[in-house]
Amino acid sequence: MNKYDSDGVFRHKIDIQIRFTDVDLLGHINNNAYLNYYDLGKIKYFEEVYKREVDWAESELIVANVNTDFLLPIYYRDKIFVQTRIERIGNKSLTLYQEIVDKNTNEVRSRCHTVMVAYDLKNKVSKPIPEDWRILIEAYQSKID
């Protein structure tokens, strides 16, 4: 943990609408759908932090690594949400920590760590995380509910 995750509290949560096409032949949600749910959480998290809609084609923040733990199955009629926070921020990268949680039981069904790298789209090289991003993330992560 560092100053961006000093209390381990999730300040960002979004409800997820499970679609019938997310269901696999075994009757539970396909593993690929989990990544879509995490992407939705990530997009909404950054839009709330940056206080604007993010243009991902111009965002200069790319995914370098994703690790997902599938703890308990999710079924079509389950009510779930994704919670997101920045776990760590380094010189050129940051790590998001997310969980998919059952709204009725508060059970964590899955958890995910995503490393994202600040990237210079023109020169195609990594770059330092801009200071204004750090300031916005720190302010958001430390806000009092």
Structural domains of the chain sorted by starting position, each given as residue range(s) with its CATH number in brackets: 3-141 (3.10.129.10)
pLDDT at 6: 47
- The answer to whether 4 touches 135, Cβ cutoff 8 Å, is no
pLDDT at 51: 84
pLDDT at 60: 83
Helix (H) or strand (E) run with residue 50 in it: helix 31-50
Checking if the pLDDT of 57 tops 50, the result is yes
- The answer to whether 83 touches 12, Cβ cutoff 8 Å, is yes
Q: What is the pTM of this model?
A: 0.89
- Enter the tokens of residue 122: 């023109």
- The answer to whether 41 touches 82, Cβ cutoff 8 Å, is yes
pLDDT tens sequence across 58-113: 668 899 999 999 999 999 999 999 999 999 999 999 999 999 999 999 999 999 99
Q: What is the mean pLDDT of the chain?
A: 90
- SS3 assignment, position 21: helix
